[in-house]
Structure 1
Amino acid sequence: MTVTRGTEEPDPVWAATAPLWRAVQAFRLVTLLYAVGQQIASVSYYGNQRLSWALIAVMAVWSGISAVLLSQWRIRHEPRVRRAVVVGDHVVVIALIFATRLVAPYDWYHHHQTLPTTLWAANAVVSAAILWGPFGGVCSGLLISAAVITARAQWDFDVWRDATLPVLISVGLALGLASDTAHRAHAQLQRAVRLTAAARERERLAREVHDGVLQVLSYIKRRGNEIGGLTAELAQRAGEQEVALRVLISEQGDRTDAGGAEEDLRPLLTAQATPSVLVSTPGHPVRLGHRSAREVAAAVAAALANVVQHAGPGAKAYVLLEDIGDELVVSVRDDGPGIPPGRLAEAEGQGRMGVSRSIVGRIAALGGTAQLLFEPAPADGEGAEWEFRVPLEPRH
C-alpha cells in the first residue's frame, strides 16, 4: 500500500527528531567557522598551502549541502536521502583526515589537529547518533577516532592523552540517547492523539446511537410492556439489547489503551451513583491497572443495568467497594424480587449471553470470580447480590 503525504508534513518516523536535525545543522556551521579559523592560524605551517585551501573549500561546500539536505522535509524520499548524506559525511570526514598528510609535514600533523578539526569531524558522529541511536553514535565515534589516530600515527600511549576518542564517543552516546528519547516521546504523543480522537468519535457515535437506536429500543420496551401478551417478550428482548448497547458504547474507548498505568477505581464507581443507586467506597485510593479498573466498573454497570431491567422501577441498588489487602471485593445488591433459581442458566441456554459476558466473563478475565449470592433461593423482597472478587498485586 502506498501512502501519500502532503509536502508540508514530515514522515512520522522522522518527525520526532526534526528539531534535533535542525539544531545540529547550526552546530555544523559553527564548527565550519572554527575550522576556517584554525586553517588561517595553521596554514603557514603547511607544505602545500593551495591544496589546504582547496580542501577547506570542499569542507565548506559539503557543509552547506549536507546542512540543507538534513534539515529539509519537503524533498522526495527524505529518509533515503538522509541516510545517504550521513554516510557521505563519514566518507568526506575520513577523506579530509587522511588528506592532512598531503598538505602538512609529519611533525605537524603528528602533534596537532588534522585538517578537519575534531569539532567539525564530530558532525558525522552527531548525525549517525540521531539516525541510528546510541549504538550508531558510539560506532561512528570509534570509526572517526580510529581514522584520526591512524592519520596522525598515534597508535601508542599518546592516544590516551588525546581527547579525540572520549569526546567523539561521548557525543555519539549522548545524542543517540537524546534521539531515542525523542522517538519515544513522539510515539507517546501520537498515541495520546489517537486516544483523544477515538474518545471524540466514541462520543459522537454515542450521541447518534442515543438519538436513534437506543430511543427506539426504549420505546419498544415501554410499549411492549404496556400492551402485554406476546409483545411482552419482544419488550424484554428490546430491553436486554438496550442494556447491552449502552454497556458496549461505554467501554469502546477503553479497549485502545494498553493498561499500563494505575487508576483509582472509586471515581469510576461513584460516577454511577443515582438517586436509586447508592455507592460506598473506602476513604483511600483503590488503585488498579487502567484496563482492570475499567473492566470492574463495566461489570458493575452491567449489574446495575440488570437491576433496572428486572428489579422494577422502584428498586434501589447498593454498591460497596472493599479493599481487603490481597484482593478487591465489590458487592452490587438490590432490594427487588430477586432472581429465580436456575434463571441465569436458562437465559444462557436461550442464547442470552449478557450476564455471562458482561459480568462473569469480565471478572474472570481479570483472574477473579463473580458470584450471585442470593440466586439459589431468594426470599421475598430480599433481592439479589453480586459479589466480585479481584486479586490484587502485592504492594511494596
Structure 2
Amino acid sequence: MKRLGFATPLWRALIAYRVILLGYAAMQTVHYWDAYAHPRIALLVLCVMVAWTVAMTVANAVDRGRRWAVTLADLGVSAVLLLSTVHILGAGDPEATVTGPWVSAAVLACAILGGPWRGMAASLVIIAITCVLPGGPLSQDTLYDIVMLLMGGGVVGLVSQLLRDAEWRMTLMTEREAAVNERERLARIVHDGVLQVLTLVHRRGPDLGPDGAELARLAGEQEAALRGLVLGAHGPVAPVGEADLSALLTGFASTVVSVSGPAAPVLLPADRAAELVAAVAAALDNVARHAGPGARAWVTVEEEHADVLVSVRDDGRGATPEQVESAAAAGRLGVAQSMRGRAEDLGGTMSLVTAPGQGAEVEFRVPRTAGRPVRR
C-alpha cells in the first residue's frame, strides 16, 4: 500500500526545530564558557552536535532515515552528549549544560515514529540522565523542563499516531474507490452488452421448444449471477463509508425489470447496502426462474422514518402458500437464506405475498443502522 506521507510535515518541523535548538545551544555555550571546568571538551561536544544535526537533517529528510535504527541512534548520541556534561560542568551550575534543550529533538523523533508511549519512554531516558547531573537538588526551571519534555513526547506522539491512522484510512479508501470505479466501468460495459443478450435469450428461448426453454433457464441463472457480480454484492472489495441504495439497485434495470426510488439518495452504510442489494438480486433471480416466460418485475425503494423498504413485485404466475413452503423446505426459491436470512442478519424482516395467477411481491424492511430494531 502506497504511503501518502501524512507525517512528513512533522519530520520537516523536527528538522527546523533541531537546527534552532542547535543555535540556542551555541549561544548558551558562549554564555556559560567561564563556568565550565573543561571548556575545550564543551567545544568538542558542540562540534559533535553540529555534525550530528547535519547528519540527522539529511537522514530525516527521506523515508530511509525515518526508521528505528536511525532514531534510536539519535537518542543514544543525544544521551551520551548530555551525560558528558557531568565531566564538563564539574561542580558547576546544572543549567549550564552544553546540549540544553537540543536533546529533546531525539525524543520528538521517537514520538513521531512510535507514538505517545514510545515518545514518553524516550523522554524518560533524557530525564533520568538529567537527574544525575551535578549541582545538588533540581531547580524549579529544571523540573519545568522535565515536565514539558514528558508532555512533548506524549502529545507529539499522539498527533503522529492520529496522522498515521488517517493516512492508512485515506489510502485504503482511495484504493477501494479506484476498485469500485473500475467495477462500475466494467458493469456498464456488461450491462449494455452481455446482460442484454442474456435477457433476450431468457425471453425468447421458450419459443424454441424444450431445448430453448432449458437454454432460457440457464440464461436467466447466469444473468442473475452476473448482475450480482458486477454490482459487487459478492466482490472482494470490502465496502466502506456510505452508499446510495437507489443508485446500486438501478444496475438491475433492464427490458423486463423497472427500478424506481426517491429523487434524493437513499444512503446506507455500504456493507448493509451491499447485503440488501444481494437480497434483491436473489428475489429477481426467483422471478427469472419461477415467474414464467415474459414476466416483468418492478423494484421500488422507499424510506420510512429510520427504516428502508425495498419491494420486488412481478406479474408472473404466482404460487400458493403451500407451494412456497414446500419449495423453501426443498431448498428452492432462495427464500430462507438468500432473502429472509440476509434481511434478518441486517436486523430487518422479509415478507412474501403471492397467489396463483397474481404474481408475487417480496418486501424487505431493514433499519438504516445495525443494532436497532425495525419499526413494526
Q: When the two structures are superposed, what TM-score results if normalisation uses the length of structure 1?
A: 0.78
Residue 134 in 1 paired to residue 116 in 2? Answer: yes
1:146 maps to: 128
Secondary structure at 1:372 match in 2: strand
- 1:230 & 1:263 partners in 2: Cα distance? 41
Give the residue type in structure 2 aligned to 1:140.
Answer: A
Give the residue type in structure 1 aligned to 2:108.
Answer: V
Secondary structure at 1:106 match in 2: coil
- 1:303 & 1:153 partners in 2: Cα distance? 83
Q: Of 78, 98, 105, which residue of structure 2 is paired with 1:115?
A: 98
Segment drifting more, 195-204 vs 316-325: 316-325
Q: Of 29, 39, 48, which residue of structure 2 is paired with 1:49?
A: 39
- 1:293 & 1:139 partners in 2: Cα distance? 45
Q: Of 350, 359, 366, which residue of structure 1 is paired with 2:339?
A: 359
Describe the superposition over 1:182-239 as per-residue Cα deviations: whole angstroms up to 9, x where unpaired: 1111101111122122113323543564577545534543452231233212212211
Give the residue type in structure 2 aligned to 1:175.
Answer: V
2:55 maps to: 65
Q: Of 224, 228, 232, which residue of structure 2 is paired with 1:251?
A: 232
Residue 370 in 1 paired to residue 355 in 2? Answer: no
* Identity value in percent: 35
- 1:267 & 1:13 partners in 2: Cα distance? 32
Residue 300 in 1 paired to residue 280 in 2? Answer: yes
Secondary structure at 1:37 match in 2: helix
Residue 227 in 1 paired to residue 217 in 2? Answer: no
- 2:86 & 2:193 partners in 1: Cα distance? 82
- 1:353 & 1:335 partners in 2: Cα distance? 16
Describe the superposition over 1:148-170 as per-residue Cα deviations: whole angstroms up to 9, x where unpaired: 122144545x3576321111112
Residue 174 in 1 paired to residue 155 in 2? Answer: yes
Describe the superposition over 1:252-304 as per-residue Cα deviations: whole angstroms up to 9, x where unpaired: 48763355x455656656786789746466x9987643311232233234434
Give the residue type in structure 2 aligned to 1:362.
Answer: R
- Inter-CA distance 225–394: structure 2 relative to 1 (3 Å threshold): closer
- 1:287 & 1:132 partners in 2: Cα distance? 38
- Inter-CA distance 269–154: structure 2 relative to 1 (3 Å threshold): farther
- 1:253 & 1:17 partners in 2: Cα distance? 36
2:174 maps to: 193
1:3 maps to: none
Segment drifting more, 125-134 vs 201-210: 201-210
- 2:242 & 2:195 partners in 1: Cα distance? 33
Describe the superposition over 1:311-356 as per-residue Cα deviations: whole angstroms up to 9, x where unpaired: 654746363635366x655433334332355655676788867555
Segment drifting more, 166-175 vs 262-271: 262-271
- Deviation (angstroms), 1:126: 0.5
- 1:319 & 1:284 partners in 2: Cα distance? 14
| Contact persistence 2:296–2:316 (CA under 8 A) | yes
Describe the superposition over 1:79-111 as per-residue Cα deviations: whole angstroms up to 9, x where unpaired: 6xx3222222222222222222322342323xx
- Deviation (angstroms), 1:62: 1.2
Give the residue type in structure 1 aligned to 2:154.
Answer: L
1:96 maps to: 81
Instruction: Spell out the pairing of 1:243-282 with structure 2 (5 A cutoff).
Output: 243-252=224-233, 256-257=237-238, 261=241, 265=245, 277=258, 279=260
- 2:301 & 2:196 partners in 1: Cα distance? 31
| Contact persistence 1:320–1:332 (CA under 8 A) | no
1:390 maps to: 366
- Inter-CA distance 347–194: structure 2 relative to 1 (3 Å threshold): farther
Secondary structure at 2:92 match in 1: helix
| Contact persistence 2:37–2:92 (CA under 8 A) | no
- Inter-CA distance 177–330: structure 2 relative to 1 (3 Å threshold): same
Secondary structure at 1:256 match in 2: coil
1:39 maps to: 29
- 1:206 & 1:273 partners in 2: Cα distance? 12
Describe the superposition over 1:121-169 as per-residue Cα deviations: whole angstroms up to 9, x where unpaired: 111110110121100111112221221122144545x357632111111
Secondary structure at 1:333 match in 2: strand
**Structure 2: gaps of 5 or more residues:** none
Aligned pairs, number: 369
- Deviation (angstroms), 1:117: 0.9
Residue 237 in 1 paired to residue 218 in 2? Answer: yes
| Contact persistence 1:332–1:385 (CA under 8 A) | yes
- 1:379 & 1:346 partners in 2: Cα distance? 15
- Deviation (angstroms), 1:171: 1.2
Segment drifting more, 285-294 vs 63-72: 285-294
- 2:4 & 2:360 partners in 1: Cα distance? 57
Give the residue type in structure 1 aligned to 2:121.
Answer: C
| Contact persistence 2:220–2:288 (CA under 8 A) | no
